[in-house]
A and B are shown apart, each in its own frame.
Chain A
Amino acid sequence: MPGAIYAEGLVKTFGEVRALDGVDLDVPESTVLGLLGPNGAGKTTAVRVLTTLLRPDAGKAVVAGVDVLKNPTAVRRSIGLSGQFAAVDEYLTGRENLQMVGQLYQMSGRDAKKRANELLERFNLADAADRTTKTYSGGMRRRLDLAAALVVSPPVMFMDEPTTGLDPRNRQQLWEVIEELVAGGTTLLLTTQYLEEADRLAHDIAVVDHGKVIARGTSDQLKAQTGGERIEVVVHEREHIPAAREILDTHALRGPACEGCTVEEHTRKLTVPVTGGAKLLAEVIRELDARGIEIDDIGLRRPTLDDVFISLTGHAAEGEREPGATDEQPAPDRPGDALQHQPESEEATK
């Protein structure tokens, strides 16, 4: 049985550009699929097709058991959409916006009012409910936009880059809301270019690039595909580097791609590919300690989705990197990229 969101061979071209080039998706009920990809990868186009806003040139899509192309109106009753731009009327108050959406879902005036109140409370907007949304901050607008998408508690939700441009605190808040929602049984398709976001929220991840799904799986599966774990050590004294290296080299995983221990002199950091997990880490710590090597930091690092992304697409995801990720993988086609890793609120493409 196909999932709550199902797509097969979706193709959409805009002139010369193949925005979707045969996309297949299958999202089981009550799960979250993260559609991960850089700007222009086709994420938004996929969402627009699945939410009935755009007719694909080819392919098939079923949402909440209803054929998107044959019966778009029925699909619209079962979905909520929170787009890239906070789609609220800036001259209406938060309350008026939500009531309007409720009424357009064919709620009675009274029900729409009641539901608007509930949502304003839940999204922490009650105090600002009667101000025009023009006066809202970016985070408040996003919350209101999400609230508008939830007016009828739709079984299937689409969120197109829900946290793009939000500050970390607002992003965190929004994540909590989304997690709550999914715990309540909603099926969610989420697009993001934030790897951290996909890692945290999505059960399954589909990596999209140039209109194609180039990899899919759980976050763990994707990471496993990219490579194994590593131990990273930062020694306190520079003169301890050779000794530490000696120890680490004995544990290094040897293979065609692995060249043993790598050293960054200026940061006194040593990195070595390993297998053996926490047990090995403990062993390494004991051995370093036995040789009297003082360490500032040590850790077992697994590949991040950043690493996955780079190894799959040959370039980094734009706009943001995962906190804690190191800059040891320069994007091959964009050498300066590692230096430009500032979280930024980039303008999204249409």
Chain B
Amino acid sequence: MTATAQAAAPTAPSGRGGISQSITDSLVMAKRNLIRMVRIPEVVIFGLIQPIMFVVLFSYVFGGSIKVPGAGTDAGSYREFLMAGIFAQTVTFATAGASAGIAEDMHKGLVDRFRSLPMTRGAVLTGRTIADLVQTALTLVVLAIVAALVGWAPHDGLGDALAGFGLLLLLGYAFTWIGALIGLSVRTPEAATSGGLIWLFPLTFISVAFVPSQNMPAFLQHVAEWNPFSATVVACRELFGNLPPTYPVPDAWPMQHPVWASLIWSIAIVAVFRTLAVRKYRSATA
């Protein structure tokens, strides 16, 4: 390294370039975002309150009235069924944080500084998505504890349970790239907050997250069963052992092979939206 010499005389540092620089830059940016999260704990706290509220509302308000096919009539079976849906919805809602955060950076001129530095282009966005992943993981831990308190439990062993949470984190990570693209595309941070959120409602509700698809109109049924969000939800239900033994699994391929479908969807989303977001970042002129 030549950095010590740089301190004294006007000399330019030589870049390392390549993947190692890309990783270092991303981690530096992730650290920045994590420090911000610690300094603005409200964001993390509100991020927690919402899913906890959903757990309570769905379990006790809707729980008694919604019947899971193949299960008995007790509310407990719906709670088991529901949790994977709430977990998945929670990880996707982290998207809104990413879009708001990135829009704010773009707006405040901080990005001009970053873009004038010899850092790798994607690092500002990658750093943000990594920090969001950490936050999502923390949220999931708290949420799992709350879920356990209302009677949810994984039944297929620790390995499968962890695999389920792995899929959830991957889905959340993939969605933060969608959030990044939204954050780069809107004009103001305010627009990013709502723009990062509204599309999540149809996405998470036209799915098998809260109710089975069997009773939806045929068109919505297809949408719900091919929804990337549904794949992860069903994969988690399988991995957690949260489906009744006689639950009628729809014929759609992603519903038959939910773990694979979840992996493929998430990786495809990262690939597509990361490319688009980094390209947008490069050409962004604030």
Contacts and interface: CB of A to CB of B under 8 A. Distances in A.
Interface of A: 48, 51-54, 64, 73, 76-79, 81, 83-85, 87-89, 91-92, 96, 100-108, 111-112, 114-115, 118, 132, 148, 152-155, 184-186, 350
B53 interface: no
A108 B1 contact: yes
A188 B110 CA distance: 21
Q: Decide if the interface of chain A is mainly helix, strand, loop or mixed.
A: loop
A78 B12 contact: yes
A111 B4 contact: yes
Contacts of B32: 89, 92, 96, 100
Contacts, number: 121
B1 A111 contact: yes
A132 B109 contact: no
Interface stretch (B34-42, B62-70, B89-97): B34-42
Contact of A148 (B4, B9, B113, B123): B113
Contacts of B10: 153-155, 184-186
B7 A105 contact: no
Given A104-B114, A111-B6, 12 more contacts: A52-B115, A73-B118, A76-B116, A78-B12, A87-B110, A87-B112, A89-B32, A101-B113, A105-B3, A107-B1, A155-B11, A186-B10
26 contacts: A73-B118, A77-B12, A77-B14, A79-B116, A83-B113, A85-B109, A88-B110, A89-B32, A89-B36, A101-B113, A101-B117, A104-B25, A104-B28, A106-B1, A106-B3, A106-B24, A107-B1, A108-B3, A111-B3, A111-B7, A112-B3, A115-B7, A152-B12, A155-B12, A185-B10, A350-B286
A64, A81, A152, most chain B CB atoms within 10 A: A152
Contacts of A105: 3, 6, 13, 117-119
A76 B36 contact: no
A126 to B, nearest CB: 17
B6 A53 contact: no
A172 to B, nearest CB: 24
Contacts of A91: 35-36, 39-40
